[in-house]
Amino acid sequence: MSNDTVGVDRTGERLKKEANHVPSSGRFYKSNDPHKNMRLTDCCAATSTHMDDGSDGWVLCCKHCYHTVDVGEGDGNEYLTKYWEERAFNV
């Protein structure tokens, strides 16, 4: 194992602690700017990216653990509106 991977958190626990969590849906949302209230991946509370799947296709993957995720998870397509933010976080 190389030294650059020692101590790396691949479970996303640190990211989950820093994100806003909505217990009723199990979803995580970004808690700081510039993309406040953007939905994050369910696995690690991270952003996602499209990656080549090796067979002339593309899949959406978590940038933290590289697991495949659904559209809307961390890709910037889903945000909490002010209406839902107030209800989800009891603001």
Q: What is the pLDDT of residues 19-72, one digit of tens each?
A: 877 776 778 888 777 778 889 999 998 999 999 988 889 999 999 999 999 999
Distance CA 82, CA 57 (A): 36
In a domain, 4, yes or no: no
In a domain, 18, yes or no: yes
Mean pLDDT, range 4-11, rounded to an integer: 52
Residue 50: the pLDDT is: 92
13 vs 68, more confident: 68
Question: Is 0.75 topped by the overall pTM?
Answer: no
In a domain, 91, yes or no: no
- Give the highest mean pLDDT range of 12-21, 65-74, 76-85: 65-74
Residue 84: the pLDDT is: 64
In a domain, 1, yes or no: no
In a domain, 41, yes or no: yes
Q: Residue 45: which domain range? A: 13-86
**Tokens at 49, concatenated:** 């990216």
In a domain, 59, yes or no: yes
In a domain, 5, yes or no: no
